[in-house]
Chain A
């Protein structure tokens, strides 16, 4: 009986550790670190524009993401971590949906953004892979339009 209890305790412990590993916590206020990010993620001609600051709140089932940038309109969303599609609160004139899921130690957010332009309707697909290590958040973001893609990496420090 005693041996069985020890085995069960060990099994539960391993399970708890596994859960902790597969549920990284992205909660916090994250500020863009220019020195650690790819050079083409800021300045006057970024390949992909990354937000200056991201505020994240996470529960076991949801993650809310509020992104702000200097002199740019904010973007926010509350994603269900079951991967179901949600509406993103984008600036006027932009329609966006997205979905998020925890994949191993990463958060993966995919989204589709559309807006009208003098060239007609523009559709961009994005994929973001978030990794948190201590007080550092790394986001690798890919933008796809008309089959053509660009990928850049940005690093954020916890405030």
Chain B
């Protein structure tokens, strides 16, 4: 009886873990459109400092004055730290991002490189940076 209960609990745990949201590690070509390079300038309102990719949420003002929040996929924290960037450098900072638009047309880009305008801290991708 005890064995059955333990098995049920472990099974439930595995099922719950499988259903939990995870940050997928995907290839550039599956998600982003290499034919649509884009440069954005805006203010970082939120930073997701997690592996395998850090995610910035950036308010960008359109030509018509409307503000759109973009999700910007960057390299992981280790690659950012290696280039002198820290988690606390991001939220509230103005940023210029060079990257590629998502295939699905949503306000999502991957960042090939970016510059924090005030601190002048830069990130430049390295070969095969995850």
A residues apposed to B, CB below 8 Å: 39-40, 43-49, 69-73, 75, 90-91, 93-94, 113, 115, 117-120, 122, 124, 143, 145-146, 148, 150
CA of A60 to CA of B70, assembled, Å: 47
A98 to nearest B CB, angstroms? 13
Residue ranges of B at the interface with A (Cβ–Cβ < 8 Å): 27-30, 33-40, 60, 62-64, 68, 70, 75, 98-101, 105-107, 110-113, 124-130
Q: When chains A and B are docked, how far (Å) is the Cα of A43 from the Cα of B126?
A: 9
Q: Give the Cβ gap from A70 to chain B, nearest Cβ, in Å.
A: 5
Contact B38 A145 (CB under 8 A): yes
- Nearest CB of chain A from residue B55's CB, rounded to whole Å: 14
Contact residues in B for A120 (Cβ distance below 8 Å): 62-64
Question: How far apart are A65's CB and chain B's nearest CB, in angstroms?
Answer: 14
User: What are 20 A-B contacts defined by CB distance under 8 Å?
Assistant: A40-B127, A43-B28, A43-B125, A43-B127, A43-B128, A44-B27, A44-B129, A44-B130, A45-B112, A46-B28, A73-B35, A113-B35, A119-B38, A119-B40, A119-B60, A119-B62, A119-B68, A122-B38, A122-B101, A148-B98
